[in-house]
Amino acid sequence: MPTTCPYHIDPTGADIHAEAAALREQGPAARVVLPDGIPAWSVTDPGLIKRLTSSNRVSKDAHQHWPLFKEGKVPTDWSLGLWVAVRNALTAFGPEHTRLRRPLASAFSPRRVRAMVPQIETITATLLDELATAGPDTVVDLRDRFAFRLPLLVVNVVLGVPDDMHAQFRDAVGGLFNTSLSPQEAAASECLVRRHVDTLIERKRDEPAEDVTSTLIAAREAGELTDRELQDSFILLIGAGHETTVNLLDHACTNLLAHPAQLELAITGEVPWENVVEETLRHQAPIATILPRFAVEDIVDQETGIQFSKGDLILINYAAAGRAPRRIQRPDEFDIRRTDTQHLAFGHGAHLCLGAELARIESRIALSALFARFPAMRLAESPDQLKPIPSFISNGHQRLPVHLGDQARQPE
């Protein structure tokens, strides 16, 4: 049982893994304090995470199960307010969750995702052609020029975002994940995203197509969703599309470039790209911590003896879970040769990530094509100089400067 003082979560996410290690020291779950003094638990142990995320005594709905929120004791301008107040699958419980997840799920069926492979390959090839114009010795920001653009373009296809709106969403969505913003900045960033979503919904009402936004609008028109749920479901998907796979690609590239012998194993096919992707997800969970969850009633975890009181706010620390020393040997080391690459980076239980298959396929295509084209790429800064993005939720770098090196000879 943790006996130490609550740990103040660093809203700037300056060193997510040092923080995770400090929290782990306090036991499978540690008492923490979020910005504005909001108390919570951060759960770091994979076993406890699985038990909590699959329990029907743990909810994600603040409107029903967070007394502080219901009683108006959470500041209305709390910088993390959007994460608890939104009305979509990520923050729903029980039958409400089933209702809100259903219209999203069809877009991510294995069949629909497999059908996207040719489009993902084409987008990847176009981005690599654009990248190649930089020349072998120029420093390019691989995160901005490749890791970010690919998932963005793909999610825009899934959601049916027209080309002329890509830039608006690209510029606005990052603010939702920046946990170091002031309340005023966070409110302005949410407001901006909502304005763009409204414009998009208006346009798609007039021009429906085979995409998730049109499916959501149809669900709204059939009375299955409220206006707010329609808007917030879109925000969930565009947010997931902008801030997750980018981190996976960013960390995979950083680690491969920092470990050239492992990169060689991947390029030669001795280790499949699938292992690279899974090991990256374990070692650097792209969503480091997720909120919110709430204890629906007093819960005593039988295995650890930890007691959660009714209404406690619970954060799941996926970054810590991927490096649990009792589960995995040399947890801090990146090693694509591992045979056990189990991780919880896509979550567990009813809220398991809907985009997991898409993210996996997309990253395998992206990494294999990138390093086939630029096998001599190298980092332009040492990995420990790379600055993290200011978030304890989203785990990536602000920039990933590389030299592309000479291109591989293209087939005639």
Binding site for ligand HEM (CB under 6 A): 89-90, 101, 104, 155, 236-237, 240-241, 244-245, 248, 286-287, 290, 316, 318, 345-347, 351, 353-355, 358-359
161 burial (CB, 10 Å; 0-12 / 13-18 / 19+) is buried
Q: In angstroms, rounded to a whole number, what is the distance separating the alpha carbons of residues 411 and 244?
A: 33
Helix (H, G, I), strand (E, B), or coil: what is residue 106? helix
In whole angstroms, the minimum distance from the beta carbon of 218 to ligand HEM comes to: 18
100 burial (CB, 10 Å; 0-12 / 13-18 / 19+) is buried
In whole angstroms, the minimum distance from the beta carbon of 61 to ligand HEM comes to: 11
Select 282 or 403, whichever has its Cβ closest to ligand HEM: 282
Residue nearest to ligand HEM (CB): 355
In whole angstroms, the minimum distance from the beta carbon of 408 to ligand HEM comes to: 27
Select 245 or 254, whichever has its Cβ closest to ligand HEM: 245
Select 344 or 404, whichever has its Cβ closest to ligand HEM: 344
Select 253 or 359, whichever has its Cβ closest to ligand HEM: 359
In whole angstroms, the minimum distance from the beta carbon of 292 to ligand HEM comes to: 9
Q: In angstroms, rounded to a whole number, what is the distance separating the alpha carbons of residues 374 and 182?
A: 41
In whole angstroms, the minimum distance from the beta carbon of 101 to ligand HEM comes to: 4
Buried residues in 238-272 as b, exposed as e (16+ CB within 10 A): bbbbbbbbbbbbbbbbbbbbbbeebbebbbeeebe
Would you say 411 and 373 are in contact if contact means Cβ atoms under 8 Å apart? no
In whole angstroms, the minimum distance from the beta carbon of 110 to ligand HEM comes to: 14
Helix (H, G, I), strand (E, B), or coil: what is residue 335? coil
Phi, psi values for residue 139, rounded to 5°: -85, 125
Would you say 388 and 14 are in contact if contact means Cβ atoms under 8 Å apart? yes
Select 235 or 306, whichever has its Cβ closest to ligand HEM: 235
Select 345 or 369, whichever has its Cβ closest to ligand HEM: 345
